[in-house]
Structure 1
Amino acid sequence: MTKGKDKRRRVTLECTICIQNTTKKSPGIYRYVTQKNPKNTRDLLELRKFCPICQKHTLHLELTI
């Protein structure tokens, strides 16, 4: 019986620049998929990740469903 694996939740991170900018050459939103433990991290997850559409490191926010 695994104890630690059932607590982690799968979250999706979206690029904040791609969400705001709709007049780009290639439209779309780049997403990352990661895991977090909701018991330890109650706030929304914010990470600086590389966005290949924007061609730079940008802030990625957790997608709330």
Structure 2
Amino acid sequence: MAQKKVALACSVCGSRNYTIAYSPNRTHRLEVKKFCKHCGKYTMHQETR
């Protein structure tokens, strides 16, 4: 059985650049600072569901 995937979206431009494995143990959305290739800089990325 395949793992469920969740996308990480850039908070500035909204593009979904990264995917991570879904974890039901997380109570709130994951926020990490990642590089956005569309913005050209490091921005906050939020977990989308």
Fold agreement, TM-score > 0.5: yes
Unaligned runs of 5+ in 1: 1-5, 20-28
Unaligned runs of 5+ in 2: none
- Once residues 43 and 30 of structure 1 are traced to their aligned partners in structure 2, the CA distance between those partners, rounded to angstroms, is 18
- Determine the structure 1 residue equivalent to 2:45: 60
The normalised TM-score by structure 1 is 0.60
Structure with the greater alpha carbon radius of gyration: 1
Q: How many residues align?
A: 49
Q: Percent identity?
A: 33
- Determine the structure 2 residue equivalent to 1:18: 13
Higher helix share: 1
The normalised TM-score by structure 2 is 0.74
Q: Which aligned runs of 4 or more in structure 1 are off by greater than 6 angstroms?
A: none
